[in-house]
Chains A and B, each alone.
Chain A
Amino acid sequence: DAGVIQSPRHEVTEMGQEVTLRCKPISGHNSLFWYRQTMMRGLELLIYFNNNVPIDDSGMPEDRFSAKMPNASFSTLKIQPSEPRDSAVYFCASSPRSITGMANYGYTFGSGTRLTVV
């Protein structure tokens, strides 16, 4: 298995531009999570999906952030317009959908996207 695949690995953009981050979860994992990590705040859960349906988006910082999961193998996190304070590493993680599966196996993380907004 190729693991959780994220793209791009690095993104540098100017303030005000739209940024789209992409994620392909592990095949068969029906739960998908988007996290943001900074030195100050640690790992923050932004949103998660079960079976392509958003379950909890309470961590999305504001309306500039949106996430979609159009099918079981693809998700996007979009920031429009981007701001310098959005600079962080964004991780996608996936997990088996069932309580037993998640309880036993936890999450598998992708390699992350390092976003820099200048």
Chain B
Amino acid sequence: QKEVEQNSGPLSVPEGAIASLNCTYSDRGSQSFFWYRQYSGKSPELIMSIYSNGDKEDGRFTAQLNKASQYVSLLIRDSQPSDSATYLCAVFHSNSGGSNYKLTFGKGTLLTVNP
């Protein structure tokens, strides 16, 4: 059973601070990693993807990947109240024959940014 673990939170940070969201995964062969943001009552939307070890920056968002530690994180700099949402980590993996592949989602971390 491929597992993706996230701290359910809630994570509460003041406006302007850095929010750090973490995710661990069990399948060492996982190939790519995604962060989705889900506002209350809305559907998940893709905000970041990362495939290689290291950091990937997109505006105020930075995704970090460490495959040796099986760990991926999302940093949100200068957090805004509009960033308040649930953040879902998703991991892409396939079986050895390449016939079955899909994303596995964590349960999400609720982030609250306080004005």
Which residues from chain A contact B88 at a C-beta distance below 8 Å?
A: 43
* A91→B102 contact, CB < 8 A: no
* B101→A99 contact, CB < 8 A: yes
Which residues from chain B contact A103 at a C-beta distance below 8 Å?
A: 31-32, 51, 92, 101
Main secondary structure on B side of the interface with A? strand
Q: Contact residue range for chain B?
A: 20 to 34
> Number of A-B pairs whose CB atoms are under 8 Å?
55
Which residues from chain B contact A45 at a C-beta distance below 8 Å?
A: 102, 105
* B100→A109 contact, CB < 8 A: no
User: Which B residue's beta carbon lies closest to that of A3?
Assistant: B43
| Interchain CA distance A111-B43 in the complex, whole Å | 5
Contact mask for chain B residues 51-87; partner A; CB cutoff 8 A; 1 contact, 0 none: 1000000000000000000000000000000000000
Q: Tell me the count of chain A residues lying within 8 A, CB to CB, of chain B.
A: 21
- A118 nearest CB across to chain B (Å): 20
When the two chains form the complex, which single residue of A55, A106, A110, A111 contacts B103, counting CB atoms closer than 8 Å? Answer: A106
- A102 nearest CB across to chain B (Å): 6
**A107 in contact (CB, < 8 A):** yes
Which residues from chain A contact B44 at a C-beta distance below 8 Å?
A: 43, 91, 109
* B102→A48 contact, CB < 8 A: yes
| Interchain CA distance A100-B66 in the complex, whole Å | 21
* A110→B49 contact, CB < 8 A: no
Instruction: Tell me the B27-56 residues at the A interface (CB within 8 Å).
Output: 31-32, 34, 36, 42-46, 49, 51
CB-CB under 8 A for A106 and B43, given A55-B100, A56-B100:
no
| Interchain CA distance A33-B34 in the complex, whole Å | 17
Which residues from chain B contact A108 at a C-beta distance below 8 Å?
A: 46
Highest count of chain B CB atoms <10 Å: which of A42, A48, A56:
A42
Known: A99-B101, A109-B43. 15 other contacts (CB 8 A): A42-B106, A42-B107, A48-B102, A56-B102, A91-B43, A91-B44, A95-B103, A99-B94, A102-B101, A103-B32, A104-B51, A106-B34, A106-B49, A107-B103, A112-B42
**Chain A residues in the interface with B (C-beta under 8 A):** 33, 42-43, 45, 48, 55-56, 91, 95, 99, 102-112
Q: Which 3 residue pairs spanning A and B have beta carbons closest together?
A: A42-B107, A109-B43, A106-B34
